Chains A and B, each alone.
Chain A
Amino acid sequence: MSPLISRGFGGRRRRDVDASRIPPGQYVTDDFPVLSAGPTPSGSLDTWTFSLTGAVDEPTSWSWEELLALPSEEIRTDIHCVTKWSKLDTAWRGVSVDILLEGVDTTADFVSAFCDGGYTTNLPFADVTDGQAWVAYEFDGGPLDPVHGGPARLLVPHLYFWKSAKWVQGLELLDHDEPGFWETNGYHNRGDPWKEQRYWSD
């Protein structure tokens, strides 16, 4: 179906952004909207942990201080939310999932990120390795705000941002795919913004 022309609609293209960086159906915003399914959790850093569980030779977990002691990197990236906004050149600091997986013996093909509050999201193992995913704890040079997923969130910027699970507490490594919260509520299983995989039938 060729798109219907909207009579009298001119649109307001942003001349100050490179259109090749904007996936289909997205628009660029300068602020940082918040989208979550429930209240923002308020956990203590003293009891915070990040764990690798499931199909691993031995489950591993890190305390907050242990996570901060791991080699971190600065990530400058564009992010794309399924609700249509994109934000360019966001600056994060976090630990690469590759570092967390170092020395872990696994045959997993998928992971399920699990979070404070019970949220889960599923990803192919291949989408969280090879420098594509981080556990991020700083945004714009400061601690990550709880409304944006602090103390730490997953950062998987090449997929729609619901995959970058807020308040992340670990990855369950799986030999099978296990659709997560939004994935069982009508959203796409993988969520590639460049293929506009927003909803289950896309």
Chain B
Amino acid sequence: MSWWSKLLSLPWVMMICAGLLVLTGALALYSASEGAWSPWAEQHLVRAGIGVVLMLVMGFLPLRWINRMAPLVLLAGILVLLALPFFGTGSGATRWINLGPLNLQPSEPIKVVLVLVLAKYFASRTWDQFDSFTTYLPALFLIALPVGLVLMQPDLGTALMMGVGGLSMLFLAGLPRRWILLGLVAGLASLPLAWSQLYDYQKARVLTFLNPGQDALGAGYQITQSKIALGSGGLFGKGFLMGSQSQLDYLPEKQTDFVFTMIGEEFGLIGNLAVLLVYFVMMGSVLFVGIRCENRFGRLLCGGLSMMLFLYVFVNVAMVTGLMPVVGAPLPLISYGGTAMLTVFLALGLTMNVSLNLDKDDTEII
């Protein structure tokens, strides 16, 4: 392939969308600090720059080489998760690891690595193996291990996304329908057990989700204020820097998990829908790379990554609109938070790499 056609086949739509989202984020963060570049907006753009570099590196590294490294990286990640309780940081939940200037949340990139490893695993099976349950068992184990560790941190949101994202890989790989059904039933049946395993603050969040008005100044405060901010934004919003809920600090975590709310307050339904549209176009273009891909690995990887991106957006938006309990999930590329951003650029880089290897055979890249 020539250099020129390589450039043309890159997923430009996806990258443009990512750029738009980063800029939206910078704008929102500028407003969140009451019209100042520091401390958030500036840093956000710097991180995005690093993210782009990461994306390019991931995009142009030989895929086979990445695949070789993936299991090792996953293993390392799991080890880090295991070690986190001993030297991690974070208020209430130990989910952060402090690496000098970088405060990393290892569970985030592990999501991508998990998808990568699962894609590799399934791509290297032969067709006849997909009807046997034993094919899926190692995959389930691969999913359950990090999910369990993240749950113990405890980080319900990330665990949920990782679990659903991983399971959707099984679905993509071709897990027979009856097993999926079985799994759903088992999952529902285990809800009471899961409930008993939740921490008090997690239970409180779930209860609050079910009835946020009951305790409007306590656990329900965030979601109540978020709904007020969104609702009062109306169709066109209150205007840039004019969101009273955000500017007067009624809205908690407006620069991270509730940034979507802030956009809604200042730019209204129009602003929110525009952001969602850009996200869906980005996910669509990731999926489109997978659809065009001729190898199973690429298709599985892009499907999984698109699902992962979708879960980020869905969980966050459902949370701030009160459709889901507050679980602590960022809005990637817009929220202030480096790990999620880098994770997304990582995923975008992998997608880019797949787009450069559309016509390769599975055996050439694994």
Chain B binds chain A: no
List the interface of chain A (C-beta within 8 A of B).
Answer: none
